[in-house]
Amino acid sequence: MAKGMREIKRSIKSKQNTKQITKAMEMVAAAKLRRAQEAAVAARPYTDKMKEVISSIASGSGSSKHPMLISRPIKKTGYLVITSDRGLAGGYNANILRKVLNTIKENHKSADEYAVFVIGRKGRDFFKRRNIALVEEITGLSDSPKFSDIKEIAAKAVQGYVDGTFDELHLAYNEFYNAITQVPTLKRLLPLGQIQSSGEKADYEYEPSAEEVLNVLLPKYAETLVFSALLEGKASEFGARMTAMGNATKNATKMIAELTLTYNRARQAAITQEIAEIVSGANAQQ
């Protein structure tokens, strides 16, 4: 009995240590989530203004014939997948990777029909384990990424479409709604189609020409959309990790309570047995 009680006590101590770690990770994730949300909100005005200018140019005569705005027969598809470098975030990585893998299996018969770009160590390892070749990968991003961190992979993915390496480009990431809800999203990034800007349109003068400005802005706009998705993904990652660590803390608390109850019952049983033995011994001497 004493041995069993020692094991229970050791298990309680282990669960208490785990609870301290998960509680700390939950608090850290909550702080990082707030900063990630602020970064995502701060990036929106730039994206919106660029969309407004592109919409104004594209609505002019002849400008909408830019290759990034026009659909073409699809022979090969590109996928840019955004994941995290670390785990312990619930289904954050598993959900989006499963969605991409199922899409690839359903829509493509051979590896020649698709190309994969990956941001994040979890995504890279996932595809490599399944022998899916990666065109480009990037890992080790900070918790507060900058546009320069992903500019190279975003530019390469966009250029692959412009060069005709693939005929459409899809962006896969977790769209952030709140700390509890993150939705795995797979949306077409290129071709952009007809861009419509909300609100009143301003009149612009372009130098040297509207077409030249469009040629420069469209790739940058597509790259900016990738960066915006990355910021959404970061907020989703921290939200998912905060929720996962919160649930782990609650589970640890519940397990500690159950083990403590078991320990107290075992202790009470041991004391009762000792009293019974003492009484029996005293009766035997009479």
3-state SS class at 241: helix
Confidence at 278, pLDDT banded by 50, 70, 90: confident
Q: Are residues 192 and 132 part of one domain? A: yes
Give the list of residues 6+ apart from residue 38 with CB closer than 8 angstroms, or none: none
Residues 96 and 178 both lie in one domain: yes
pLDDT of residue 282 exceeding 70: no
Within a domain: residue 45? Answer: yes
Length reported for the chain: 286
Tell me: do 13 and 89 sit in the same domain.
no
Cβ burial 22-34 (10 Å sphere, 16+ → b, else e): bbebbeebbebbe
User: What CATH number is attached to the domain comprising 161?
Assistant: 3.40.1380.10
Is residue 145 located within the same domain as residue 94?
Answer: yes
Q: What pLDDT score does 214 carry?
A: 79
Mean pLDDT, residues 150-170 taken together: 92
* Same-domain check for residues 274 and 228: no
Residue 120 lies in a domain: yes
Task: Tell me how far apart the alpha carbons of residues 67 and 77 are, in angstroms, rounded to a whole number.
Answer: 16
Lowest mean pLDDT among 45-54, 69-78, 115-124, 141-150: 45-54
Residue 138: pLDDT band with limits 50, 70, 90? very high
Q: How many domains does the chain have?
A: 2
| pLDDT tens column, 97-119 | 999 999 999 999 999 999 999 99
Q: Please give the residue range of the domain that contains residue 268.
A: 2-25+244-279
Average pLDDT value for residue range 192-199? 63
Looking at the structure, do residues 234 and 248 belong to the same domain, yes or no? no
pLDDT band at 83 (very low <50, low <70, confident <90, very high): very high
Q: Distance between CA 223 and CA 171 in Å, rounded?
A: 11
**pLDDT band at residue 63 under the 50/70/90 scheme:** low
Range of lowest pLDDT (29-38, 53-62, 81-90): 53-62
Mean pLDDT for all residues in the chain: 87
Q: Are residue 68 and residue 174 in the same domain, yes or no?
A: yes
Q: What percentage of the chain carries pLDDT values higher than 90?
A: 58
Q: What CA–CA distance (Å, rounded) separates 47 from 59?
A: 18
Specify if 284 maps to a domain: no
Residue 201, in any domain of the structure? yes
Summarised one tens digit per residue, pLDDT across range 47-56 is 888 877 777 7
pLDDT score for 124: 96
Alpha helices in the chain (DSSP H): 2-58, 92-107, 121-129, 147-162, 210-285
| pLDDT above 80: residue 284 | no
Residue 1 has pLDDT above 70, yes or no: no
What is the per-residue pLDDT for 61?
46
Are 7 and 124 members of one domain? no
The pLDDT value recorded for residue 286 is: 63
Q: Are residues 95 and 219 located together in one domain of the fold?
A: yes
In the chain, what is the greatest distance between 2 CA atoms, to the nearest angstrom?
116
CA distances from 214 to 49, 51, 62, 151 (A): 14, 11, 12, 19
pLDDT at 84: 95
pLDDT tier at 276 (50, 70, 90 boundaries)? confident
Alpha carbon distance 135, 127 (integer Å): 11
Q: CATH number of the domain that 14 lies in?
A: 1.10.287.80
| 7 and 128 inside one domain | no
